[in-house]
Amino acid sequence: MTKKQAYVKMGYDGRYLYADIYGELDHHGVKEVREVIDEQLYQFRPTMFVMNFGQVAFMDSSGLGLVVGRAKVAEDLHCMVRVVNVSPRIMKIFALAGLERLSCIKIEGA
């Protein structure tokens, strides 16, 4: 099985910033994705940041850190975060980490 390198496609509509994330979110792939997202968050300062996990094949604690870290950046910018199309396996990781307790994040399953 070949590893699918993580990458992100971004979009902005004037209020919402969208990040469609692809591949495997592990310690090798998260850095570039994080840098692209942070750059766009600071550039656009959206009211809502939507992370689409529909094409994430695998996620470890580095992927969890990506979400928590971006939520902190977004919160500092007074921006809400939605994480959408989360697979049941990744939803379990989020639940174990207690992400639903963070007031600035709303998580939605696939």
Could you report the per-residue pLDDT of 74-85, keeping only the tens digit for each? 999 999 999 999
Could you report the per-residue pLDDT of 27-52, keeping only the tens digit for each? 888 999 999 999 999 999 999 999 99
For the chain, the domains span 23-109
The span from the CA of 16 to the CA of 96, in Å, is 28
**Interhelix angle for 61-76 vs 88-97, to 10°?**
70
Domain range 23-109, CATH architecture? 2-Layer Sandwich (3.30)
